[in-house]
Structure 1
Amino acid sequence: MIAEADIAVVAEQLGRTPRGVRAIAARCPGGHPSVVQTDPRLPDGTPFPTLYYLTCPRLNSLVSTLETTGLMKEMTDRLAEDDALSSRYLAAHESYLAERDAIEPLGTQVTAGGMPTRVKCLHVHVAHALAKGTGVNPFGDEALARLADEWPTGDCASR
């Protein structure tokens, strides 16, 4: 059961009523939601393969800034060059898929964020890393490490 107060905070963060929220998957140190876990299908039945969704506005903004630097292309290129990294990323994909399918199989191998062959959306990887902890999603961990001096600080952590 998700507290109505949390749903209200997530709605404020997103600027809209959240859809298909199953749980608060991670919180900022200040206590407010930073990641929600969503149902594999939205209430209207539409498949929604993104199991973890980043809601923290400050972190969303910081991740968007990272995306403008070309980091996703660099990460994707490293997948072709680093077998160990590629294996860890494939494991993140498989873990994500297994967790989502345990809730409700969508009949697809598509997870989110470009897994397992490319890096398409850092927001998904950061959300996954926050929800599951360090060591599960290498690119989520890397993005969070790059943002460590900027998040969680300021308004984000004090709410």
Structure 2
Amino acid sequence: MKARAFDPAVASGVAVRCSRGNPAVITCRSIRDNKPFPTAFWLTCPWLVHLCGRLESEGAIELLERDVKSNQPSWVSYHMRAARLRILSISPMERRFLHRFRKGEWRSLSLGGVGGIRYQGGGGAKCLHLQVAYWLAVGFHPAEELLERMVRPLECEAPSKWGCQ
């Protein structure tokens, strides 16, 4: 899967930096253009974006989807936590407004887990970039052991090759 184009307007901060101080994962606003934005964390490290793309082309998502099926309760819990995190990133006043006047947007925020994945029925993996960004930002993942084996090294050895300093 090709990584989606990043819109800088959704950035709200840096969640994770590499050892050289460059942003590796950024936080995103839960609302963009008055609509729910499904991604709380965005992978920005050029090396990790490249690595995840390569791993996806080699079948990484299929491995994660197998883990979803064999470890469904953990994945559902993970997606539910992601939905709560996105909701809590919105001000109480905005939450009340959405809940009362924009029920569709509220439902989208409250029922969409990591990357907006619906967690009813077990959820899913969607894309490796997304899963790695969440894993690095929150510090846990239902398929953490699998990610630790697959996504290595977590930092590039030649920053200048990837446009980093």
On whether the aligned pair clears a TM of 0.5, the verdict is yes
Alignment of 1:120 onto 2:109: no
Quote the Cα distance in structure 2 between the aligned partners of 1:103 and 1:21. 13
Alignment of 1:33 onto 2:23: yes
Q: Deviations over 1:61-98 (max 9, x none)?
A: 10011101112122212322x2xx22222221111111
Which blocks of at least 5 consecutive residues in structure 2 are unaligned? 96-104
State the aligned residue count: 140
1:52 to 24, 37, 41: 41
Name the TM-score, length of structure 1 as normaliser: 0.74
Change (3 A) 1:34 1:99: same
- How far is the alpha carbon of 1:17 from its aligned partner? 6.1
Name the TM-score, length of structure 2 as normaliser: 0.72
Alignment of 1:62 onto 2:51: yes
Alignment of 1:86 onto 2:72: yes
1:102 to 79, 88, 94: 88
Quote the Cα distance in structure 1 between the aligned partners of 2:6 and 2:80. 31
- How far is the alpha carbon of 1:99 from its aligned partner? 0.8
Q: Deviations over 1:131-157 (max 9, x none)?
A: 111xx213366334322236343216x
User: Matched residues, percent identical?
Assistant: 24
- How far is the alpha carbon of 1:18 from its aligned partner? 0.9
Q: Which residue of 2 aligns with 1:138?
A: 142
Q: Which residue of 2 aligns with 1:111?
A: 113
Quote the Cα distance in structure 1 between the aligned partners of 2:148 and 2:49. 11
Contact 1:40 1:100 in 2 (8 A): yes
Q: Deviations over 1:10-58 (max 9, x none)?
A: xxxx99761122210001111100111111112x223211000111111
Which blocks of at least 5 consecutive residues in structure 1 are unaligned? 1-13
1:76 to 65, 70, 89: 65
The structure in which a higher percent of residues are helix is 2
